[in-house]
Amino acid sequence: MDSRDTNTDKEDFEVKETILVPYNELHDINIYTYHDTNAGRLVLDPDEARAEFGPEIASRLKLTKDGSKILWPQPTDDPNDPQNWSNRQKHFQLFIITLAAVVPDFDSAIGIASVFALAEEFDTSTGHVNNLTSNWSLFLIGWGGIFFVMLMRKYGRLSILFWTQLLALGFLVGTTFAPNIRVFAGMRCLNGFFATCPQVTGLFTIADIYPFHLQARMINIWTMGVILAPHLSPFVFGFLVARADWRWAYGIGCLYGLFVLFLIVFFMKESMYYRDGSHNPSPFSKSGFWGRVKDRIRTLIGITGVLNAKPEPTWKEVSWAPIHVLFRPHMFLILVFETAVFGFGIGINVTNTLFLHSPPPVGLGLDPITVSGIYATPVIAVLVGEFMGRYLNDWIMNFTVKRNHGVFEAEFRLWTCYIGTVLYVVGFVILGVSLQNNLGIPGVVVGWTIAQVAVVVTTVAVYAYCNDCVPNKRGEISGLLNLVRILGGFTVAYYQVPWASRNGALQTLGCEAAIVAGLFVLTVPYLQYKGRSIRARFT
């Protein structure tokens, strides 16, 4: 084996033959870009590949170590190819981007724990604080991702991630020392806009460094950080704010953001790689310690990305790409479904503190310490959902691919949504009954746990499905999913508490569960039945 292969990830594949085959020699099949051009359908079985591609092409395909699956994307013989990074490097990159994905909603949700303290500090109502700060910061978290995807498509992942997290940290410091509610709201909203970048970078990074058969598992881990974040800060800081100034909570948030920024600066690697081999120059490859430091700084601040930027895609293309993805029928339908699933899930997180604090009949009338303890529920539920989703998604993929003669179809991912939707309805109904009929803490804990497990399991399946359907637009997919989940949650806080005050929590949460179930019936079976033909026409 060539010495260049010493950096390849031996746990993920073995190199059958390190030959970069020209496009025209593969009878119009480029094995290094096939996974992008043949969106939503991948041949994983080596025997099926010989039948479909011919023995000559199949013999050049690289396989997993046990020889059971074909690797997509196909690793090149370039040691700089992220697919050739070691397992340790890959897992550390995933670790960093998962911690970074916690930042946006973690920072935003600090306001949930401190809403009563903020209202007292700035002499206003909790509703005004929520509407002016929490809701609008959530709104901007959604739109920020769309904007930063455009920059990452042109200039790479690392430099955009660095600048956004640096600015987000600066604005969070401003939030911590804000003298009045206007400054507080402005700083908090700007923090949300810039902090959201890791929530769209993660899907890019996972697809850049991991082969297809591992991507759903890694998406599960990264998504765990996204879903865990809005529950983590109310749990952690609820106890703190009950005994100390709310500014300490934001100060600790600043320290966490600083830690994540430190990891990005010193350890995060640029993962963007042109798999056709046409444009992967490295203008700064100086030897020696200071040469490497200079190279690192230029890559980090974006000089390397600007100099290496290709004319394509044009700014017009990257600007319109989210619109083009959104209005593909299969994408539009699944995004509408995810809007309700995640929106209601994050919405109950924003308003649950008011349900639990408020006196009966609207809420349970609990004290701040007890409410903070209850917020451990979704934290534990997200971890349970991650564990469950990891094995469930892998089992469904392996089972369905085996039944389909070694060929994967994107719609196989949607089988997970059947389990997720059932859990979603059960969890929301139990939570609604517990709040309305004052069944106490056990009912709230059980209902909320089941509901959040359902959100994790379903959301991972939706992310994986969209990633498989439009692999060359992963940034836009990630940005749109981030936007719709935020828009769904953004609106819930405006109507959920008034609705529950008039008609009870059971009607409110029961109707939300019914909406999710109805959207599931209208979208998922249809996509499984017609999805392949829709993909063929619109991809």
Q: pLDDT tens digit string along 384-407?
A: 998 898 889 889 999 999 999 999
Q: What pLDDT was estimated at residue 495?
A: 78
Peptide bond into 471 cis (omega under 30): no
In sequence order, what are the residues at sequence separation of 6 or more whose Cβ sits closer than 8 angstroms to the Cβ of residue 170? none
Q: What is the pLDDT of residue 505?
A: 79
Whether 89-276+286-312 shares its CATH topology with 323-538 is answered yes
Predicted confidence (pLDDT) per residue in 103-124, tens digit = 998 998 888 778 888 888 888 8
- What type of residue is 265? V
H helices within 114-211, ranges in order? 115-121, 126-129, 135-155, 158-176, 181-195, 198-209
User: How high is the pLDDT of residue 126?
Assistant: 78
Fold of 89-276+286-312: Growth Hormone; Chain: A; (1.20.1250)
* Confidence (pTM): 0.87
For the ranges 207-211, 318-322, 452-456, 486-490, the lowest mean pLDDT is seen at 486-490
Predicted pLDDT at 198: 94
418-429 burial, b if ≥16 CB within 10 A, otherwise e?
Answer: ebbbebbbbbbb
Residue ranges per structural domain of the chain: 23-60, 89-276+286-312, 323-538
Q: Which CATH number fits domain 323-538: 2.40.50.140, 3.40.1190.20, 1.20.1250.20, 2.40.30.10?
A: 1.20.1250.20
